[in-house]
Amino acid sequence: MPVKSPVLVDLKFSPATVAKALETAFADRGSINLADPSSKGADLSHADYALLWKPDADLFERAPNLKVIFSGGAGVDSMMSIAGLPDIPMVRFVDRSLTTRMSEWVVMQCLMHLRDVQGHLRNQRQHLWVQQQGPEAADVTVGVMGLGVLGCDAAAKLKVMGFNVIGWSRNRKQIDGMQTFDAGELDAFLAQTDILVGLLPLTPETTGIYNASLFSRLRRGGALSRPVFINAGRGKSQVQADIASAIRTGVLGGASLDVFDVEPLAKGDPLWDLENVIITPHDSAVSEEKALMGHVEEQIARFERGEPLQHLVDRSRGY
Ligand code: NDP
Ligand code: OXD
């Protein structure tokens, strides 16, 4: 039987976490952990597969015979910009647990704004007993931008909580019980949206899409009185200065941000201290290393059986 080539691995997790996961992954073929200094001079020319997040620029020169690239995350924007990226199939990470955790985060953020959790916490710190009677979920329309794997799951779970949910995507989706809009209908979508949830990939079209002009087109005077912006897609899709300014001027009543233009968010960034802005450190849905490697093993097995790869990236769309 021909010897199988080891999988090249270069991931965002701590080196110890990757090393631990690799102890049991790819048992039939082995792996080369590119984060391990001992791999520096290794001959990679025979490698067929690579599992990557932000690889070194010279990787593809060192490994010119790759057949498939696997992304270490659901988003592939960091891979798309690598010089010398070979024109071979690229598979992104789609995983039940990652999807579930993202939906937990999205539902939690919508409920935090609906029930003014920040206001309650401020009152609690001052030992103030102030009852609030806000709207119920059914009075509030959540508009989800990006109806892919994550957007569709979050939208379904928001509906279970009672929110009125609408969705926007490049091509219109048919989803039972949900009004949907295509790329050309952005204004109509925004005009109905009280809470905007961003779950878009980062591409040239979505860079800077969440900006002052977009915020000004969200519905005002709805059940929450001022719209709320929530983003867990990518930070470079948002203009952070515009978010800060929209919060200060009351164009936005609140925001929840898991992703930022530059990560980690600078200690001195004004967003940290703005009222009704909730910040989480890009951990709404962290990839779980064992699930990631299991997914790669499954896709390699499919590929070697001659079956089509799943979750392929469309290079022309950029996601
Ligand atoms: P998918 O590829 O499944 O879905 C992307 C969605 O965005 C699709 O509905 C697509 O439209 C839509 N879209 C893309 N470009 C445009 C555009 N120009 N105009 C309108 N709609 C557009 O991605 P996922 O749902 O799996 O993931 C979304 C993103 O979430 C990832 O790319 C990643 O950046 C981010 N992410 C963040 C995480 C975190 O921890 N914060 C964790 C995991 C992912 P169409 O359906 O018509 O193609
Ligand atoms: C991802 C991420 O894209 O963690 O998977 O952001």
Task: Please determine, looking at this structure, whether the domain spanning 96-279 carries the CATH number 3.40.50.150.
Answer: no
Residue 96: is its pLDDT beyond 70? yes
Ligand 2 neighbourhood includes 75 CB (under 6 angstroms): yes
Q: Count CB neighbours of 17 within 10 A.
A: 13
Res 14: pLDDT: 85
Domain-by-domain residue ranges, the chain? 7-95+287-304, 96-279
Instruction: Give the model's confidence band at 118: pLDDT under 50 very low, under 70 low, under 90 confident, else very high.
Output: very high
- Which residue lies with its CA nearest to atom 5 of ligand 2? 73
Percentage of the chain beyond pLDDT 70 is 100
Annotated catalytic residue 234? yes
What digits encode the pLDDT tens for the residues 287-309? 899 999 999 999 999 999 999 99
Coil, strand or helix: which one is 50? strand
Annotated catalytic residue 317? no
On average, the pLDDT of the chain sits at 96
Do 7-95+287-304 and 96-279 agree at the fold level? yes
Coil, strand or helix: which one is 67? coil
The alpha carbon of 73 and the centre of ligand 2 are apart by a number of angstroms equal to: 4
**pLDDT, mean of residues 24-43:** 94
Q: Count CB neighbours of 156 within 10 A.
A: 15
Instruction: Give the model's confidence band at 81: pLDDT under 50 very low, under 70 low, under 90 confident, else very high.
Output: confident
Asked if 235 and 261 count as a contact pair (C-beta separation under 8 A), the reply is yes
Q: Cβ neighbours of residue 278 under 8 Å, at least 6 residues apart?
A: 109, 112, 118, 254, 255, 256, 257
Ligand 2 neighbourhood includes 74 CB (under 6 angstroms): yes
What digits encode the pLDDT tens for the residues 46-80? 999 999 998 888 999 999 999 999 999 999 999 99
Res 13: pLDDT: 86
What digits encode the pLDDT tens for the residues 135-166? 999 999 999 999 999 999 999 999 999 999 99
What digits encode the pLDDT tens for the residues 240-282? 999 999 999 999 999 999 999 999 999 999 999 999 999 999 9
What does CATH list as the number for 7-95+287-304?
A: 3.40.50.720
Res 1: pLDDT: 67
Active-site choice (220, 282, 302, 311): 282
